[in-house]
Structure 1
Amino acid sequence: MPQRHLPFPSDLPRRPVFESVATFALLAALLYLGAAILVPLVLAILLAFALAPLVTWFNRRLRLPDPVAVILSVALALATLAGFAFIAGTQVVKLAAELPGYQETITAKISGLQEQFGSNTLLDQIDAAIAGLSDQMAGAEETRPGAPIPVTISNEIGPLGILSSVLGSIIGPVATVAIVTVFLIFLLMGRGDLQERFIRLVSAGRYSKTNIAIADASERVGRYLLIQLAVNTAYGTIFGIGLWLIGVPSAVLWGLLIILFRYIPFVGALIIAVVPFLLAFAVDPGWNMLLLSVGLFLVLDLTTANVIEPRLYGSSTGVSPLAILLSAMFWATMWGPVGLILATPMTVCLVVIGRHLPQFQFLDTLLGSEPVLSPPERLYQRMLRGNTEDAIEMTEDHIEEHDTQHYLDEVMLPALRLASNELADGPEALPQRRQLVQSFEALIGEVAKVDWPEHSTLLLIGGRTEIDECAATLLGIRLANEGITSRVLPPVAVRQEAIGRLDLDGVEAVMLVFMGDDIRAQARYVARRIGRMAPDTRVIVCALHELSAQESTETLHVDTVYRSIDDAVEGALTSLRQLEISELHASGKTEPFAGAGRGDDALGQAIEHIADTFGIPFATINLLLDDRHAEDEAAFRLTSIVAETRQPLIVHSQSPHPLVGDNAYLQTNGIDLYAAVPLILADGTCIGALALLDYEPRAFGAEEVAQLEAAAQDLVQRFGDGGAVAA
């Protein structure tokens, strides 16, 4: 039999890694070699993001045709750039003329430093450089009018050579500006067509997601550019005015340059600020000007970077600081100084692409500022590592933002579900499960104070593992919050070697809680053993795994199956209510508002009379503990609001209400008016609400509210405190 060569396992992942590295290297080479074409194009695209709102404003507000609006917007941008360059050039010429006058001050300061700190190599080098510069200036002064002019023979460059040299130095920037301008005009004029072509190219039929991605990128990049322009302008204005007040030469120049250099992440402002510091050192014989300049920069920069920008930017970029730093290094290597300015906007675009296109999701993970793990995943990782302190801090932050119940339902329970899916039932994962349980117990001790009774009529038992026991604990906390006492036991209590010693005296129900999907054998075994030990004890299963949805009471041989903790809590409340009703009838008393919702009894006729009195088509009483009125969660929520506030609640479907929210119940059922008042018994217990429902718009004033409250009091006196027996 011929032998086949099987690849080593270590060889298998090399191909995708090699392909990724090769693809990255190819893209980097294309970016580097194509800089002459790509840089003007990228500059034009970013300027198009910034100028698009201005073009839209010209179109909508001034009713200008699109070509006119585009040309006008580009002309304003070029005029602003030209004005910036003119002012900066004027300041440079002025500064160059003033520099020779600062030599004596610099020499005197360096001499003073040498006397104070002794000989220093750096100071000696600076002093020698200044001395050489002074000699050159002195030699220049000797060439005065009337003095003999030394003649040297050299190959002088003619006028044509001078013209070629000057043109060669300016033609590059001018050409770049011209190319960017042409690109910008065409991009703005054809922005609609280009967007449609881009959608067609990348959408793959998913137009909705592509439109969302384009809108997100436009909003984030445009908002970032405009906000940074405003911040940089304010920064440069304050910095220039401050330097002018201090007395630093050419303060306007440094204010203008710092506006431009702040587009370079992190170090741009510092790079340009060093120059006015040196001038302050050269101009002032003392040290006040230098110290004031440094202090101005530190206060302004720290305030802007740590207070102003975080509040203004918010999540406009969605890029992490580390990603911005790495991006700046990469693009500076590719495209030089221009790459530093373009780094952040281009990184924002990459993050948006990764956020909306699945094949590029790794970009959002690597570069984005949003947490890559959900709160349950973060909590699960901390519990696995035993990082209890960090988990407690995360828990406190979440509870402060929401509440304890939201944390238990939306963070802790999903974290346990992750643990159940990942950690096997076998002994190999036992150390991790124990570490998880220890962290869980520490967290529960911080967020929920529950006194577990030694004996209870309801036992909550983890079905198979320690994780199931944790879920049972969460269920017990929920029940305790509803006033139902229970006792939580570990899975070992129903193991073969221990179930015979399970104390079932006075226990009415045993609920097995399972987080996993393999529950049938264990549930059947426990149900069979408990049925022999205590035939009157009900066996309930709370199956929390989605794959166990096919299980039923018949397949598990139990009395009831719940699919969620909410269902289990609701079932326990229903059982408690049924028990209260049974005890009430056993004592010879009638249930408050017995027969609610029936039109052939005295209570039903009284409710119909209330509706006729108000001229409203429908009236009802909704009781908090009546399942017939709690099936609709939205309707039950309205009743709960009335019961909690003990105040009338008047809601119109088209008018927002601070307590109701989006009025989902009214809008879904076509109800325009919901008017309800609480039903309060003689002992002060609020058991529900009397509500009027109208499908037509109508007002409901204070007089009608008082009339409805009187009707509710009459109902309580007649039917609420056992005054009538159900027909």
Structure 2
Amino acid sequence: MADFAPVSPRSSPATQPTGSPILTAGGIVLAIGGLYFGRDIFVPFALAILLSFVLTPLVNFLGRWRLPRIAAVLIAVTLAFILITGVAFVVGRQLVQLANNLPSYQTTITQKIRSLQESAPGGGVLNNITRTIEDLGKDISGDERKPEEAQPRVGTGPKSPEPVTVRLEAPRPKPLEIIRSVVGPLLAPLATAGLVVIFVIFVLLEREDLRDRFIKLAGAGDLQKSTQAINDATARVSRYLLMQLVVNLTYGIPIGIALYFIGVPNAPLWGLLAAVLRFIPYLGPFLAALFPIALAVAVDPGWTMLFWVVGVFLVAELISNNVVEPWLYGASTGLSSLAIIIAAIFWTMLWGPVGLFLATPLTVCAVVIGRYVPQLEFLGVLLGSDPVLAPEEQLYQRLLAGNLEEAVEIAEDYVDKYSSHEFYDNVAIPALRLAENDRQRSTTDTNYRRLVADTAISVVREVEDHIREKASSAAERGEDRTAERPPCVLCVAGRTELDHAAAEMMAQVLEERSISAKVLPPIAVSQGALGQLGLEGIEVVCLSYLHPQPQVYARYIFRRLRRRAPHVKLIVCSWNLAHGTQQTEELNKQMAADAVFASLQGCIKQVDEWMCRPASGSGTRPVLPDVRQAQVAALHSLGLAAAKGQQFDEASKKIAQAFNVPIALVSLADDIHPAQPDAIDLSQENQAINQAPHEEPLGAYVIAANEVLVSEDVTGDPRFADDPRVLEKGIRFYAGVPLRTSAGHVVGSLCIVDTQPREFVDRDRQRLEQMANELMGQIESRATESATGLSDPVGPSAASGS
């Protein structure tokens, strides 16, 4: 059998049309020049496009009420004009009021500056230093002039009179000139506003026609890419504008209200200014805070108002950045933080203050274009927020650089989000595949290959420690005991150090699943050492290859191993199998293997089935003879060798009620004892489940493995999938913990069973273990009392953990 992992789309470079970099650079320079020199046209048009994104939903809403398209557009533009005019009126009124009040703040500012100078260290030292420097400057200027004045020139007559100063005054301006000087600066903004209104109306009226023309112009025959680009840009810009507007309103309105109660004059103006300026990336909040802070200094004779204003802006910024924005944005605009800053600088230099407001939407459009135009792909790479390297490429780069810390960080983050075998299958082994492909192309020398392998093995060790730290104390004890058992799976590296690293990854996942494994380097299967390979107790041999064609090497090794140990199962893990190899049975024959896999998940699943589902179908691991004898001796010492179910009915019933499950089972090494809550009568089912002839008890795996077993849905668990009791009785959930004596011998298990899948968190696991320990304490206490002549049944206190 073979299992082939899907190839990552990033692993094979896509065929892209080649273009001249010089032509691309020249086109970009011409475009920037055109945007700069044609800003009088492009700025209104860009503003119109931006407003059309905002007004399109309103136009569509009015259109659904069967209004003509022209009427819907005019109504939407009129409402927008009224809103903007109203905001401008409020701002203007507040500015006039502020200008009238400014003279009254002069005295407070002067007194505050004087108090600062007097309270400075040294008490007026700054004034004294300033006065001294001024006096020195006057003295030096006087010394330079005195010699000239004291020495009269030879042959000169009496001193001539000083010249008379003549002042030229311009004539009083005429009324027409006054009007021109006042209205002139306003003409440019008014003209821009008029162009914006006209552009908005025509863009909304001809939206579909403009879209079709843009698709035809930019599509170059590829309508799919053009349509995707337009949809992507529209969705990103619309979402950015809407969410930014909501964020800014939730930022500016509370600030305006807070400033009003603090007593800052013209509080509505500063709240509105804070909402508008926050459209400016990063700098907006600081600019919005400058005016209220300066006004607080001017109005309040003390410093209380200043501290309150600073506190209001800090709290509003923290809440907006850490609560409101993550909640509303959901998906980012696709720009990195550095790209937003660079875009703000670039568009400000190009179009002035208007470019600062348009920076983010325009850059979003540029990034979207870079996604669909190969010649402009560098825009998406430089400005986008999406990772430019696939996870396996990121890990491979860290391995190449020997950067263990960052490689471990990538591994732990992926393991926390998914699982260890998914990390190895989707990231780590593909990274080793990249290293092997580089080796095949001879782009890396032996030292780099050894560095990659050694760093990868160190990452495996760190991942193993990370998983162990996350596990509970009982799971850690189970892992330690698994490590003490002799290995039953050999993970052998086929040829190189990279194969050795892949074998280490496989062994770590097997150990995590409580299957003892041993890793051997490539030298162990060399021609001279193959005959000395120890196969005692080995049930499965997994041969790991990153070579794309390992058939010859694997066939030679497995033929020799099969002659020595015919019972051993042989697996070839070909992590880099050549493309087009699909004949499964043919591969098995070529490699003389029982199975061939190209993914870690398929290999682990097969090993797990072979190890946990022997031919007898019992589903449990064999118990070693010495362990079995110790269990029997412990049962006899506790008086449990011939125990009956009724002895544990009361305690099991309490445990079942504590976890709200229909059945709780106390299973000993020789028998099983069911119980259920009073409200559910499942005695016949319990007898059918647990007294079926020639069947192992459900807790047999827990007893044999001496570890906690939790299966939240047993139908997907290979240890229960073929169990007839599970299939016939509809059991869906199982959780069991071993019953250990104070000497450490496992004499049974405590299990809970449910007919529905359920979540079983670490807290529930620890609670079940505590109940098992209390139950064993009661059993041992009873055995001690029986030896002294006292005999009390095991009471319900065994379930006191509930």
TM-score calculated relative to the size of structure 1? 0.69
Residue of 209, 214, 219 corresponding to 1:193 = 209
Q: Does 1:552 align with 2:587?
A: yes
Partner of 1:172: 188
* In 2: Cα distance, 1:560 partner to 1:238 partner: 67
* In 2: Cα distance, 1:582 partner to 1:300 partner: 65
Partner of 2:54: 50
What is the letter of the counterpart of residue 96 of structure 2? Answer: V
Q: Are the counterparts in 2 of residues 236 and 258 from structure 1 also a CA contact under 8 Å?
A: yes
Query: Could you say if the C-alpha distance between residues 510 and 548 of structure 1 is closer, same or farther in structure 2, counting changes exceeding 3 Å?
Result: farther
What is the letter of the counterpart of residue 730 of structure 2? Answer: V
Query: Could you say if the C-alpha distance between residues 188 and 536 of structure 1 is closer, same or farther in structure 2, counting changes exceeding 3 Å?
Result: same
CA-CA distance at 1:67 after TM superposition: 1.6
Partner of 2:778: none
Query: Could you say if the C-alpha distance between residues 540 and 264 of structure 1 is closer, same or farther in structure 2, counting changes exceeding 3 Å?
Result: closer
1:198-277 maps to which residues of 2 (within 5 A)? 198-277=214-293
* In 2: Cα distance, 1:124 partner to 1:243 partner: 38
Partner of 2:426: 410
Q: Does 1:38 align with 2:42?
A: yes
Q: Are the counterparts in 1 of residues 486 and 516 from structure 2 also a CA contact under 8 Å?
A: no
1:355-394 maps to which residues of 2 (within 5 A)? 355-394=371-410
Higher relative contact order (CA 8 A, sep 6+): 2
Residue of 453, 478, 481 corresponding to 1:433 = 453
* In 2: Cα distance, 1:431 partner to 1:475 partner: 20
The alignment covers a number of residue pairs equal to: 571
Cα deviation code 1:549-583 (max 9, x no counterpart):
63724544556533433443454466568951499
Query: Which deviates more from structure 2 when the two are superposed, residues 233-242 or residues 173-182?
Result: 233-242
Residue of 78, 91, 95 corresponding to 2:94 = 91
Residue of 482, 504, 523 corresponding to 1:473 = 504
Partner of 1:116: 119
Q: Are the counterparts in 2 of residues 437 and 467 from structure 1 also a CA contact under 8 Å?
A: no
Partner of 2:317: 301
Cα deviation code 1:585-620 (max 9, x no counterpart):
xxxxxxxxxxxxxxxxxxxxxxxxxxxxxxxxxxxx
* In 1: Cα distance, 2:517 partner to 2:215 partner: 58
Residue of 397, 401, 406 corresponding to 2:413 = 397
* In 1: Cα distance, 2:318 partner to 2:130 partner: 35
CA-CA distance at 1:50 after TM superposition: 1.1
What is the letter of the counterpart of residue 568 of structure 1? Answer: C
Partner of 2:534: 503
CA-CA distance at 1:241 after TM superposition: 2.5
Query: Could you say if the C-alpha distance between residues 26 and 676 of structure 1 is closer, same or farther in structure 2, counting changes exceeding 3 Å?
Result: farther
Cα deviation code 1:20-63 (max 9, x no counterpart):
55444333222211211111111111111111111112222x33
SS in 1 for 2:282: coil
Q: Does 1:25 align with 2:29?
A: yes
What is the letter of the counterpart of residue 46 of structure 1? Answer: L
Residue of 360, 372, 391 corresponding to 1:344 = 360
SS in 1 for 2:578: helix
CA-CA distance at 1:518 after TM superposition: 3.9
* In 1: Cα distance, 2:531 partner to 2:455 partner: 29
Q: Are the counterparts in 2 of residues 223 and 316 from structure 1 also a CA contact under 8 Å?
A: no
Partner of 2:198: 182
Q: Are the counterparts in 1 of residues 63 and 72 from structure 2 also a CA contact under 8 Å?
A: yes
* In 2: Cα distance, 1:305 partner to 1:349 partner: 24
Q: Are the counterparts in 1 of residues 392 and 426 from structure 2 also a CA contact under 8 Å?
A: yes
Q: Are the counterparts in 2 of residues 458 and 508 from structure 1 also a CA contact under 8 Å?
A: yes
CA-CA distance at 1:331 after TM superposition: 0.6
* In 2: Cα distance, 1:336 partner to 1:367 partner: 21
What is the letter of the counterpart of residue 69 of structure 1? Answer: A
CA-CA distance at 1:85 after TM superposition: 1.3
* In 1: Cα distance, 2:322 partner to 2:538 partner: 61
Query: Could you say if the C-alpha distance between residues 464 and 78 of structure 1 is closer, same or farther in structure 2, counting changes exceeding 3 Å?
Result: same
Q: Are the counterparts in 1 of residues 347 and 359 from structure 2 also a CA contact under 8 Å?
A: yes
SS in 2 for 1:512: strand
Q: Does 1:677 align with 2:730?
A: yes
CA-CA distance at 1:176 after TM superposition: 0.4
Residue of 492, 515, 522 corresponding to 1:491 = 522
Query: Could you say if the C-alpha distance between residues 168 and 122 of structure 1 is closer, same or farther in structure 2, counting changes exceeding 3 Å?
Result: farther
Query: Could you say if the C-alpha distance between residues 520 and 295 of structure 1 is closer, same or farther in structure 2, counting changes exceeding 3 Å?
Result: same
Q: Are the counterparts in 2 of residues 452 and 487 from structure 1 also a CA contact under 8 Å?
A: no
SS in 2 for 1:461: strand
Query: Could you say if the C-alpha distance between residues 431 and 305 of structure 1 is closer, same or farther in structure 2, counting changes exceeding 3 Å?
Result: closer
Q: Does 1:447 align with 2:494?
A: no
TM-score calculated relative to the size of structure 2? 0.63
Query: Which deviates more from structure 2 when the two are superposed, residues 31-40 or residues 246-255?
Result: 246-255
What is the letter of the counterpart of residue 34 of structure 2? Answer: L
SS in 1 for 2:180: helix
SS in 2 for 1:371: coil
Partner of 1:708: none
Cα deviation code 1:191-243 (max 9, x no counterpart):
12222222333334544444333223222211211222222233222222222
* In 1: Cα distance, 2:316 partner to 2:722 partner: 55
Query: Could you say if the C-alpha distance between residues 104 and 374 of structure 1 is closer, same or farther in structure 2, counting changes exceeding 3 Å?
Result: same
* In 2: Cα distance, 1:539 partner to 1:96 partner: 89
1:101-112 maps to which residues of 2 (within 5 A)? 101-112=104-115
Partner of 1:561: 596
Query: Which deviates more from structure 2 when the two are superposed, residues 173-182 or residues 456-465?
Result: 456-465
Q: Does 1:541 align with 2:572?
A: yes
SS in 2 for 1:372: coil
* In 1: Cα distance, 2:349 partner to 2:566 partner: 79
SS in 1 for 2:596: strand
CA-CA distance at 1:338 after TM superposition: 0.6
What is the letter of the counterpart of residue 515 of structure 1? Answer: L
Partner of 1:580: 615
1:612-627 maps to which residues of 2 (within 5 A)? none
Query: Could you say if the C-alpha distance between residues 82 and 509 of structure 1 is closer, same or farther in structure 2, counting changes exceeding 3 Å?
Result: closer
Query: Could you say if the C-alpha distance between residues 202 and 581 of structure 1 is closer, same or farther in structure 2, counting changes exceeding 3 Å?
Result: farther
* In 1: Cα distance, 2:423 partner to 2:127 partner: 64
What is the letter of the counterpart of residue 505 of structure 2? Answer: L
Query: Which deviates more from structure 2 when the two are superposed, residues 320-329 or residues 230-239?
Result: 230-239
What is the letter of the counterpart of residue 70 of structure 1? Answer: V
Q: Are the counterparts in 2 of residues 453 and 486 from structure 1 also a CA contact under 8 Å?
A: no
Query: Could you say if the C-alpha distance between residues 329 and 583 of structure 1 is closer, same or farther in structure 2, counting changes exceeding 3 Å?
Result: closer
1:256-335 maps to which residues of 2 (within 5 A)? 256-335=272-351
CA-CA distance at 1:302 after TM superposition: 3.0
What is the letter of the counterpart of residue 164 of structure 1? Answer: R
Structure 1 vs Structure 2 CA RMSD: 4.1
* In 1: Cα distance, 2:380 partner to 2:332 partner: 14
* In 1: Cα distance, 2:308 partner to 2:344 partner: 31
Query: Could you say if the C-alpha distance between residues 562 and 407 of structure 1 is closer, same or farther in structure 2, counting changes exceeding 3 Å?
Result: closer
Q: Does 1:81 align with 2:112?
A: no
* In 2: Cα distance, 1:685 partner to 1:238 partner: 57
